[in-house]
Structures are given as C-alpha cells and as structure tokens.
Chain A
Amino acid sequence: MAYKVGDKIATREAYGDALVEFGAKYPNVVVLDADLAEATKTIKFKKAYPERFFDCGIAESNMASVAAGLASMGLIPFASSFAMFTAGRAFEPIRNSIGYPHLNVKIGATHAGITVGEDGATHQCLEDLGTMRLIPGMTVLSPADAVEARAAVEAAINIKGPVYIRFGRYAVPVIFEQDTYKMEVGRGIILAEGRDAAIFATGFMTHAALEARALLKNDGIDAAVINIHTVKPIDRELVIAMANTTGAIVTCEEHNIIGGLGDAVSEVVCECCPVPVFRVGVRDQFGRSGKVPPLLEHYGLTPAVVAEKVKAAVALKK
C-alpha cells in the first residue's frame, strides 16, 4: 500500500496491509488471531492466504504458546490481538513460552493506548510497553505512523527472536515519506534538531511532539524532536548525545508514565548523563470511555501539555 504524508490512517490498517505484502515475500510467515481479525486487520492476511491463517478463538494465552510451538518448527508466527489481551492477559505465556526460549514469535498488538476511545478502561492498554520491556531479549517496536508500521513488520520478520509491535486503532497522520523511510531497529530518528531541549516521542505522540515544537518556537525555545520506534533496545547513544547537547528532556507516549518510553529514557539519563526529564503520558491512571480528542485533553496527551513540560524542563536546567 502507498501512504502519503498527511493522510490519516491507523497503524493497525498498515499492519494488515504489511502482513499481506510480506506474506508473499516470506512464505514461512503464518498469522494467528483471537477472534478479532476484523479489528486487528489480520482479516486482510486471512483473505490473501487462508491456508496460513489460524483463528485461535477467544483464548489468547493458548495463542501465545501455540505461536511458540509453531516458531519451534521454523515458522514465523504473528500472534495478534489487542494489546490488553496479549501483553496483558497473555503476559506469562509470552514470557515463559516465547521470551525465555527466545523463540521467533512476533506479537502484533493493536488497540494500544488511550486512543481505543469508546470501549474504555478495560480495553485501553497503558501497560504493554512496560510488561514487554521487562522480558529479556524482547524487541519492543512502537511505530508512529502507517509508513513506520509497515517497515516495523518487515523489520520484525528479519529479527531472529521475539518482537512485540504496538499498533493503534485511531487514524493518525502519516509523517514519513514512504519512498525514503528506512527503519533501523534500535536507532531513534531525529525529526528536528534543537538546542534547548529534546523531545523523545513514540507512536502517535510523535506527531504531537512535532506540533509542540512549533508552539515552543513562538516562545523562543528550540526543541529537538526524536521519534523512538524501538522502545527496547532503547537508543542509548542518542539519548546520551541529546542529553549532553540540550540538557533537558521530555518524553511522550500514549502509555502509563511508569514502565514505558519515559522510564527507558530516564534509565539511560540517570546512569549516564543526569539532566531533567519530564514524562508526558497517562499519569498512573486507568482510561475511560470517550471520543479520542476529549480523551487526549483529559489525560494531557496534547501538544500544549508537551510544550508546557518542555518549558518546565528547560527552567530546571543548571
């Protein structure tokens, strides 16, 4: 599929498209789902390659361990459901059946974060980056737009080991040029240079970070924006470099401020280059039902809040 900058498209759509595209190139790819194929968009793969698609029914723990068995045979399974029911419900099978033996399973988790919207708290997973980051050897990818989501699927296929990929339900703007975009797992992407502060963002919040940068310009603050598609392993080198050159950091994610990108960046900063770090995210709360724009306002996941946190971080600089 061709995605154009500015188009609004959910990363889950790109997940489904990419499975079809790379399913042709990689015949060992098989796809599992847990009765949510319409929602996760694996339905696209099911239509293209019915013989390589297996619905596991509403049984996500079984799906995770079945995927481990398939991977042990040399196949490359993508196990798909909502983030809540993979990284949440199936955490332990993912840890013990997939993570511990380092099997070649890809977990395609959609409906991550608060932008699930109307379904509310039980379905808004704000913990998945945390639980998946805790598993040794797990690569954790969190694409910002459809172009990056597509690239993340192929990157995951080319990693020999477990990969968790986080996709969203909500249509978000395409920010990358498809023709030139290259994903290097473990490397952040500097979208804008800046000397006063560095904003590290992941997933759909990368777009908000770019808007925050524009707001800050009006206040005379020059903020760098870095897109982090790989939450684990985090790009330590880049975090250290940005901390040293700007002296103030803000992280942005559609996730609890505990456990995700904010912690991943803070861990590096604390050990290697102490500077103020402010974390934008859901502040240790559960979600709630609502349309997406008011939800983002309610939980402070807006460019204005990001800009405010940048100012606070800059003010703390020595």
Chain B
Amino acid sequence: MDKAKLERLKRAAKNIRLGAIEAVYSASSGHPGGSLSIADVLAYLYMEEMNIDPNNPQKPDRDRLVLSKGHVTPGLYAALAERGFFPKEELKNFRQIDSYLQGHPDMKSTPGVDMTTGSLGLGFSAACGMALGSKLLGYNNRVYAILGDGELEEGQIWEAAMFARHYKLDNLTAFVDFNGLQIDGKITDVVDPTPIPEKFAAFGWNVIEIDGHDFVAIERAVGAAKECKGKPTAIICHTTKGKGVSFMENEAKWHGSAPNKEQYEQAIAELSALE
C-alpha cells in the first residue's frame, strides 16, 4: 500500500471515530465501543474498496454492505457521511425524533444503508440473500457483512453460514469484529463463541485472520477473498473495543453508553491527536 493511500485511510478512520463520538455524545445514547473497533474496516470498505456512488445510492449492481451488528450505527453513519452520502452535520441529530439517522440501520430512511438491521443475526442472512440475488441477476459485485463476535451466539448466524457455503456464495465476505467483549462482559465469560476461525472453517468457509486495525492486512484479506472461488470468506478481525479513546478501550461498559461532557472532550482531544 502506498504512503498516500495509507495516510488517506488513517485520516478517514480518524474522522469516522470523531464522527461516531460526536453522534453518541449528541444523542446521549448509542454504541461507541464497537463503532471504534470496526472503524478501520469501515474506512477501508467505504473509502477505498466498494463500488458505490453517493449520488446514486440505489445503483442496482453496486457493492453492498450489511451491518449485521446493527447497533454500531455511530460508526456506520460517520463512514457514510465521510463518503458523502449525507452531510456530517446530520450526525448531531443521531437518534432524534426528526432525524433520518435511526438508532439502528433503516434502509428506507438513510441514504447508503443497504439493509435494515439491528436485531442480531438477521443481517447476515439478508447479506446471503443479497449475494445469492446478485448471482441470479448476473451482477459482478461484492456483498460485505459485518458481524459482532458476541453476535455469533445467535443461532441464525450458523444457519446463514451453512446456507452461504451450500450455495457457494463466493461474492460474500463476512468481517467478524473480534474485540472480545459484549454487553454483559467478556464473550468467553457470557457464552463462549470461540474458537471463531475454526468454527467458520468447519462450516466450509475460507477463513483469514488479521489485525483489524492494520490497513495493509485489511487490503490483503479483501483481495484474497475476491480471489477465493466457490466459497465465502470470513475475515476474523482482532480488534480493540473502544479503539482510540484510552478510557473506552477494552471496557464492556462502553458497549452502549454515552460519554458525559468531560469524557466527550477528552475523547475528542485524544482522537484529534491521532496521526
């Protein structure tokens, strides 16, 4: 990856993290921890990878992204705003009664949102339907699904994993945000969904494990997924929940709570100081 591209991605990820904190602080509500852990993957997909057009968000043969871990709308909306689907100022209206930025993704109200999600497990299946539909329609596109590690506790995830492999959905790539935490604590303490790579491998998927904050690794994995024919690819991303804000890092309580004014100012200061 050349230096300019890396700089561009780092700047985008920084803006996505700043936007996510802005949104959650404005709403006094929302999910910062998982927004920050997946920000680099969102930056790569929305800013570099996906064939999408903010001026024509419904282009039929576009790439799709399904945020199956739908609660991290602060990260998703900040990424969509960064890509130009709507003005960044709208992030301040997140979760408000008159805003098109609903608490969880709503494809009918938000430009750039490809699937309504939020109830865990459902988005992954919908992404399988999109990938199957893309093949039926002869599109040469990609479908990306972003899953939480805690979300893997939903049984429907494994129904979808079986389905995707059975129908050889090699146009589907799933990212698992493996940050190790869910609302009630460590995923290994709640109901342990590990080992994750082995599970996807056992379900017949191509599996790649990466550092989910390393753009070079993300790029390489996305490329390898495109090369893999005949089966879907799962990219298991080792990440840090709350990445970039010191007091949010690796703390389950920042899964779904908003910072107060002092914490907000510290978070913005820390993120602004990132290179």
Contact = CB atoms under 8 A, between A and B. Distances in A.
A75 B133 contact: yes
Contact of A97 (B114, B122, B155): B122
Counting contact residues on chain B (CB < 8 A from A), the size range is: 20 to 34
Interface string A47-74: 0000010101101011011111111111
Interface of B is mostly: helix
B126 A97 contact: yes
A66 B122 contact: no
A6 interface: no
Interface residues of A, number: 28
A101 to B, nearest CB: 4
Contact of B125 (A54, A62, A75, A77): A62
B132 interface: yes
A100 B116 contact: yes
Interface string A100-133: 1110000000000000000000000000000000
Contacts of B125: 61-62, 64-66, 68-69, 93, 97
B60 interface: yes
A173 B121 CA distance: 42
Contacts of B123: 65
Contacts of B130: 69-70, 72-73
B163 A62 contact: yes
B134 A73 contact: yes
B193 interface: no
A261 to B, nearest CB: 29
Contacts of B273: none
Contact of A72 (B118, B129, B162, B166): B129
B119 A67 contact: no
A277 to B, nearest CB: 36
A102 B108 contact: yes
Contacts of A57: 159, 162-163, 166
Contact of B126 (A52, A56, A59, A72): A72
A93 B156 contact: yes
Given A65-B122, A97-B116, A72 B159 contact: no
Given A59-B159, A59-B162, 11 more contacts: A61-B125, A61-B156, A62-B160, A65-B123, A68-B126, A68-B129, A69-B127, A70-B130, A72-B129, A73-B136, A101-B108
Interface of B: 60, 66, 106-108, 114-116, 118-119, 121-134, 136-137, 155-156, 159-160, 162-163, 166-167
